Structure 1
Amino acid sequence: MQPSNRLHVPARTIMTPGPVEVDPRVLQAMSSSILGQFDPTFTSLMNETMNQLRQVLQTDNHWAFPVDGTSRAGIEAMLCSVIEEGDVVLIPSFGRFGGLLTEIAERCGAKVHLMHCEWGGVFDPKDVIAEMKKIQPKVVAMVHGDTSTGRMQPLEEIGRGCREQDILLIVDAVATVAGTKVLTDEWNIDGLITGTQKCLSVPAGMAPLTYNDRIENILLERKSIEKGLVSQDQLASNTRKIRSNYLDLSQLQDYWSPARLNHHTEATTMLYGLYEGLRLILEEGLENRFERHRLNERALIAGIEAMGLTLFGDNAYKLPTVTCVNIPEGVNGDSVRSMLLEEFGIEIASSFGPLHGKIWRIGTMGYSCQQRNVLLTLASLEAVILRHKVKLNVGEGVQAALDVYQSKERIESV
């Protein structure tokens, strides 16, 4: 029997809304020796990672730790640990990932009340607050930045309204944390989930999250029911139990506490990667990192528009880490993406549902968010679109992007 072929992974420039390129220093950290999950060096690393997460998530919450699994695992852990059978949950959905929140909440037994807006826009916070007053939900679950439409929902006013009405606000910030401002405490967010594979620039496989004492109180109450520390009447109804073992936040927080509950075997090398990714974010500085994302976004937009292409969606609420481009009429968008990948080694994304085949999505996230990648993507995209017989302003895209970068350099040199 012949041995299998050696693994070969081609070089790629990844400009999708996730996953993104990983900083080589993260990959180096992930190649470190394996430690036992209760080794004092490893538990110290767990504590340091929690501290770094608090800084990146801009929170004073005690609980800030990763769930092993992709972003969806973190979202499911948060929702299934908080939502009980029959709870009313309001989900204002402005893209595909509002649908994901809906599906998970329904599987938890929630009575979901949906709000919709046209893809490409977001909600007026006043409309969400008015709906909250009308239906009085236990939870409002929202996406901060939906990569399917490239829009970002303002949350500050909604968070204030939730707190005034004693409603929990749970936020999917997978596409925004470490790429743009996310103020967990200032915006009155009770539970927040993100993912490693986007602006954190760590491989997919962990879902960092944080929650405050309002959510912890729910976890402790449900945990007491599981342990039988309640009356027989309460025990007769098992709807208060957290139905997942692996994604039970009350057990996970015991694992991340000094008690070190033997809940699961931690993903050792992933934690190394997360630790190093967070360290690099804090080394760069959050404000500097946000400005880097804004700069590369400006350059990309300038190049796209100078080329003669147009942007999709309401620009006032554009997600700074994802740029959505209208596919020119008569062009097969998937053919352009395939040629871009095969001939230039650059990956951009299509979209979902009503936007499939109508827009391209270009991510500028984390380590992928750099001048070299933006210029390469603009030049290559122009070449491929010209091959598809579309008339463009030849050569102007890259020049417009260079103008943005050199203008920045001139300002900094003054």
Structure 2
Amino acid sequence: MKRYKDLAPSLRTIMTPGPVEADPRVLRAMATPVLGQFDPEFTDIMNETMDMIRETFKTANHNAFPVDGTSRSGLEAALVSLIEPDDKVLVPIYGRFGHLLVEIAERCGAQVATMEQEWGKVFDPEQVIDRIKREKPAIVAMVHGETSTGRMQPLAEIGHACRDLDVLFVVDAVATIGGTDVRTDEWMIDAAIGGTQKCLSVPAGMAPLTFNERAEAKIRARKSIERGLRDPNAPAAAFGRVIRSNYLDLGQLQDYWSPSRLNHHTEATSMLYALREGLRIVLEEGLEERFARHKKHEEALVAGIEAMGLSLFGDPGCKLPVVTCVTIPDGISGDSVIRMLLREFSVEIASSFGPLKGQIWRIGSMGYSCSQRNVLHVLSALEAVLIRHKAAIVPGRAVQAALDIYLKGNDAYE
């Protein structure tokens, strides 16, 4: 019989746009004893987690809970629960994950209308609002932070316009929650979906989300139709309106997370511990302080990259604070650099997708990975690897430029 070694993954400095390094406190929480899902101790943990999701998403919504599954499960739960067949859904696309929203919406039977922006830019909100007025969709689905391009879309004006026009506004906040400001209520977002494996520094496996009474009304209406189908005389047309997923049905999930605890699935106990601890750490640091920390390390990272003589990709006016995109120099194999960084320095950065594949590197500075130690390490390692690849860079300046940011106003070394 084949024998397997004990699991011993290598220690990495993970500077990708996700997953990132899990906070050690989160990993410790995952190793604590398992409780039964209806144990009062465990339901208290569920309630605390819901409260922390509300605080992190800046919402007063009653509905705020996680979906068991990676970020995509949360996106799919929101869309499959809200989209009825033949609903018109508008998806403004400015990167890879806008296309994902299109695919999910199409699988839900929606009539999908799209508008596209050049990768590296975002939409002027008025462009989107004008298109909403022309298309008259039931739902607008949009990405807040697009990790494939390192851009962040302003949402406030679009959310207000959707509310005025009685359109549901669904937002993918997977890359931004816990790392930069997400104002669910103020921006009039009807459903917002986050992820654990990015700025929350929790392993992938849960998707915290929240939705308001407008979204709930549509979900509940569909659920009522589903109950009515038990009548053998129910019209055949009604069958098309039921929520097609059982596992991702937000109506049933809502009941499971309600005080009645209507059984729907077996909760992922250890992942819930992880999410609770990740959210606790976020709120202990303070949202505004956490956002400022991400901005500071972004500033140091950008200063180092530019001092090295490398160029940043994309419109700087809409840069996503937690992802920095770097144009790969001419004549350099981006994949070769990534491989050498991992093999020789245990540093992981990422390439990109679609039209940007082989054109840019993406460096994440998210959550627990967002630290001075990691920024200085990735800059020094990248410089060394580029020198080995004979890239035309300015050696010796990257780390010093980052230190200029970190030591600003600090006279300890004068």
The TM-score with structure 2 as length reference comes to 0.98
Q: Which amino acid aligns with 1:150?
A: G
Match for residue 326 of structure 2? 325
Deviation at 1:310, TM superposition (A): 0.4
1:236 Cα offset (Å): 3.9
Secondary structure in 2 matching 1:208: strand
Q: Is the contact between residue 68 and residue 206 of structure 1 (CA under 8 Å) also seen in structure 2? A: yes
Identity of aligned residues (%): 65
Tell me, what secondary structure is at the counterpart of 2:80? Answer: helix
Q: What is the alpha-carbon distance in structure 2 between the residues aligned to residue 237 and residue 287 of structure 1?
A: 47
What secondary structure does 1:265 align onto?
coil
- In structure 2, distance between residues paired with 1:391 and 1:108: 49
Partner of 1:123: 123
The alpha carbon displacement at 1:2 in A equals 4.2
Task: Tell me how far apart the structure 2 counterparts of residues 235 and 162 of structure 1 sit (CA, whole Å).
Answer: 32
Q: CA deviation at 1:259?
A: 1.2
Query: What SS does the aligned partner of 2:115 have?
Result: strand
Amino acid in the other structure paired with 2:52: Q
Which structure 1 residue ranges, 4+ long, deviate > 6 Å from structure 2? none
For residues 54-73 of structure 1, the C-alpha deviation after alignment (integer angstroms, 9 at most, x for no partner) is: 00000000000000000000
Structure 1 partner of 2:90: 90
Give the match's secondary structure for 1:330. coil
Does the CA contact (< 8 Å) of 1:299 and 1:374 recur in 2?
yes
Separation of aligned partners in 2, 1:48 and 1:23: 19
How far the C-alpha of 1:234 sits from its partner, in A, is 5.0
* Whole-angstrom CA distance in 1 between matches of 2:238 and 2:16: 46
Contact kept, 8 Å, 1:224 with 1:230, in 2: the verdict is no
Structure 1 vs Structure 2 CA RMSD: 1.3
CA distance in 2, matches of 1:314, 1:365: 20
Where does residue 290 of structure 1 map in the other structure? 291
- Report the equivalent of 1:101: 101
CA offsets, 1:327-381, max 9 Å, x none? 0000000000000000000000000000000000000000000000000000000
Structure 1 pair 408/372, CA: closer, same or farther in 2 (3 Å)? Answer: farther
Q: Determine the structure 2 residue equivalent to 1:372.
A: 373
Alpha-carbon distance in 1 for matches of 2:299, 2:44: 40
Taking the aligned partners of 2:68 and 2:210, their CA distance within structure 1 comes to 14
| Residue number in structure 2 paired with 1:215 | 215
* Partner SS state of residue 305, structure 1: helix
The alpha carbon displacement at 1:96 in A equals: 0.2
Distance in 2 separating the partners of 1:360 and 1:207? 26
1:129-168, CA deviations, whole angstroms, 9 ceiling, x for partnerless residues? 0001101000000000000000000000000110110000
Classify the secondary structure of the residue corresponding to 2:200.
coil
Aligned to 1:237, what secondary structure does the other structure show?
helix
C-alpha separation in 1, matches of 2:242 and 2:270: 32
Q: Is the 8 A contact 2:90 2:113 kept in 1?
A: yes
Instruction: Write the letter of the residue equivalent to 1:357.
Output: G
CA displacement, residues 232-284 of structure 1 (integer Å, 9 cap, x when unaligned): 56564211100000000000000000111110000000000000100011100
8 Å Cα contact 1:225-1:235 kept in structure 2: no
CA distance in structure 1 between the partners assigned to 2:85 and 2:148 by the alignment: 30
- Separation of aligned partners in 2, 1:182 and 1:12: 29
Partner secondary structure for residue 407 of structure 1: coil
Specify the alignment match of 1:247 in structure 2.
248
Question: What is the rounded CA distance, in whole Å, between the counterparts of 2:21 and 2:345 in structure 1?
Answer: 16
* Aligned-pair CA distance for 1:229: 7.2
**Offset of 1:303 from its aligned partner?**
0.1
Q: Which residues of structure 1 form unaligned runs of 5+?
A: none
Q: Does 1:55 align with 2:59?
A: no
What does residue range 184-263 of structure 1 map to in structure 2 within 5 Å?
Answer: 184-228=184-228, 232=233, 234=235, 236-263=237-264
TM-score normalised by length of structure 1: 0.98
Contact 1:294 1:320 survives alignment (8 Å): yes
